[in-house]
Amino acid sequence: MVDDFFTDKELNWNTVYGSCTDGAPAMLGVRSGFKAKINEVAPNVFSVHCMIHREALAAKTLPDILKNVMQQVIRMVNHIKLSALNTRLFRKFCRGVDADHINLLYYTEVCWLSRGNMMQRVYELRTEMRDFLQGQKKDDWANLLNDKEWLAKLSYLSDIFERLNTLNRSLQGKGSNIMEFHDKLEGFLGVIDLLIRKVRADRYALFPSLSEFIESENFEVANLKEPIEEHLLSLKSEFDRYFPDIDAEQFALICNPFDAVENFDDDDEPAEAELIEMRADNCAKDVSTFWCTMRHDYPNLAKIALKKLLPYPSTYLCESSFSTMTAMKTKSRNRLELEHDFRGCVSTTEPEISKLVRDAKNPQVSH
């Protein structure tokens, strides 16, 4: 299908520098995957497994003791949310006690941010949920929401998932490149190392909810120290496994060509000579703009840099397009032909309305 599109639009595979897909076998399969098919017609294409997908996969790791807490929270939320009556009663109850929120949030596997949002909302409404479930004779759940150790685990999960959500949101958006993603991931791994050191030293200020809970409830956190450290270590291990290619040195020349140590292959001698000349041009710009500007004066060097900058680091544009399509094709517009309207929604080109009106063959006159 993609090859047919290239043929129909008279596009050349030799102009493709990179491809970005999710991690499904249909995409990354060695023999019949999309990546393998691209390599058959364009062997030099740089393929990327969507870095947002990888972040979401790495973030799934949880030790059993914390996984049990999350599963119990999901069951509590589903008990309230899956029943229209319970939802209304809980909302009315929250209004009656002047709670900060009146609704709980669902968790779904495909919504990457939903896990952290759900845990944070449950932690904030823990007292209201306890009283509501107690009134419904759900004593097992009410007792959990009254158990200090269980609540401490919940507060930790709320904090760490919020950090993961912040990272995920920072990886979304247009105009990003692989180097920006690598910088953010390296920064996150550095924070994880810091958190591990602080936990070992019994310092929890970097976990706002947990720190507040320890102080307000005078909670002894000794029993929780080991599972927290285990989770942080496994989280770091999973990120290292899903991002084995984080190497700042390979991008040093591109990010800061004026200070980087030269590391050229023998075939790149013209680019090495251009680097010496370019360092005499004392200009400072955005990395992408800089290399686009330099491609005429230093074509060999710019070619190396742009090959690293051009590949998309994530499938964000595709995912946001799916969201646009879902918003357009509602139940009341289920027979809408999307082709032209959809293109207008996702295009960044501003229409020249005045020109379109001026050139209209049958302009609408006022009545």
Q: Which residues contact 260 (CB under 8 A, 6 or more apart)?
A: 252, 253
The strand pairing partners of 47, in sequence order, are 19
- Tens of pLDDT, residues 199-234: 999 999 999 999 999 999 888 888 889 999 999 999
> How does DSSP classify residue 87?
H
pLDDT, residue 200, reads 93
pLDDT, residue 284, reads 46
Q: Can you give the residue ranges of every domain in the chain?
A: 1-49, 58-243, 249-327
With a cut of 50, list the residues of the chain below it in pLDDT: 284
Q: Is the distance from CB of 48 to CB of 104 less than 8 angstroms?
A: no
Question: Which residue's entry shows tokens 């984080």?
Answer: 246
In angstroms, the CA 118 to CA 161 distance is 10
- Tens of pLDDT, residues 127-168: 999 999 999 999 999 999 999 999 999 999 999 999 999 988
pLDDT, residue 80, reads 92
Residue 157 Cα distances to 63, 118, 198, 243, angstroms: 11, 10, 16, 23
Half-sphere exposure of 342 (CA within 13 A, CB side): 15
In angstroms, the CA 244 to CA 265 distance is 23
pLDDT, residue 319, reads 75
